[in-house]
């Protein structure tokens, strides 16, 4: 019996749950630890954070007024998450504003591993998850206070569930897909449903 190096890798011989936990820890270490180290460095990050600040300050979580005179341009899911996490910590910081994107990326990478682990060899699933984590644009989006990572993660996880539904012969209701795509629409509007 001839085994390749990938087949005897310690990560691929563990149960999918343990490997998912290790991947999640790797994501958290490589992304979350660095979220608050740099100040907001684009126009978009503080623009999104100020909407969450307005929600907390005014108590208007549905149609928050941005800078006292204009209504927010985007649907509120990212702003709700930033406001919620910032309320838990006491105030909005670069870390709390970027945390929803980092958690969305972590969830997407774990979902990617789980999705492929059930359909292919676990080494293929691990490779897919690591390629996603090390992709420049995914990593960049995971470290910013923008809607891009949350939108991408919700669409990807929704598509995974729609594929599972297809594998079941379209029987039952793909509740997870509906929730993910509804979340994507609450993140950036109809593109979250139309695109998939």
User: Tokens at residue 63, please?
Assistant: 């149609």
Residue with tokens 């985007």: 74
Per-residue pLDDT of the chain (196 residues; tens, 9 = 90+): 444 444 444 444 446 678 889 999 999 899 998 998 888 988 889 989 999 998 998 888 888 877 667 777 789 999 999 999 999 988 999 999 999 999 999 999 999 999 999 998 899 999 999 999 999 999 999 999 999 999 999 999 999 999 999 999 999 999 999 999 999 999 999 998 888 8
In whole angstroms, give the CA distance from residue 64 to residue 122: 45
User: Tokens at residue 160, please?
Assistant: 């995974």
Distance of CA 130 to the CA centre of its chain: 15
Fill in the DSSP letter of residue 6.
Answer: T
Is the distance from CB of 187 to CB of 154 less than 8 angstroms? yes
Q: What are the start-end ranges of the E strands in the chain?
A: 65-66, 70-71
Q: What is this structure's pTM?
A: 0.87
Dump the DSSP string for 155-184. Answer: HHHHHHHHHHHHHTTT-S--HHHHHHHHHH
């Amino acid at each position: 019996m001839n085994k390749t190096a990938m087949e005897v890798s310690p990560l691929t011989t563990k149960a999918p749950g343990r490997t998912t936990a290790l991947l999640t820890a790797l994501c958290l270490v490589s992304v979350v630890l660095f979220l608050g180290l740099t100040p907001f460095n684009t126009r978009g990050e503080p623009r999104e954070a100020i909407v969450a600040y307005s929600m907390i300050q005014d108590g208007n979580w549905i149609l928050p007024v941005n800078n006292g005179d204009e209504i927010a341009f985007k649907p509120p899911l990212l702003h709700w998450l930033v406001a919620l996490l910032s309320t838990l910590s006491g105030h909005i910081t670069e870390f709390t504003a970027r945390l929803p994107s980092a958690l969305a990326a972590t969830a997407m990478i774990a979902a990617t591993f789980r999705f492929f682990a059930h359909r292919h060899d676990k080494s293929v699933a691990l490779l897919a998850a690591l390629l996603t984590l090390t992709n420049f644009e995914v990593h960049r989006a995971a470290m910013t206070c923008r809607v891009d990572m949350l939108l991408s993660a919700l669409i990807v996880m929704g598509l995974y569930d729609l594929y599972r539904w297809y594998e079941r012969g379209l029987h039952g209701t793909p509740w997870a897909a509906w929730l993910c795509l509804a979340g994507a629409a609450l993140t950036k509007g109809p593109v979250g449903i139309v695109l998939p």
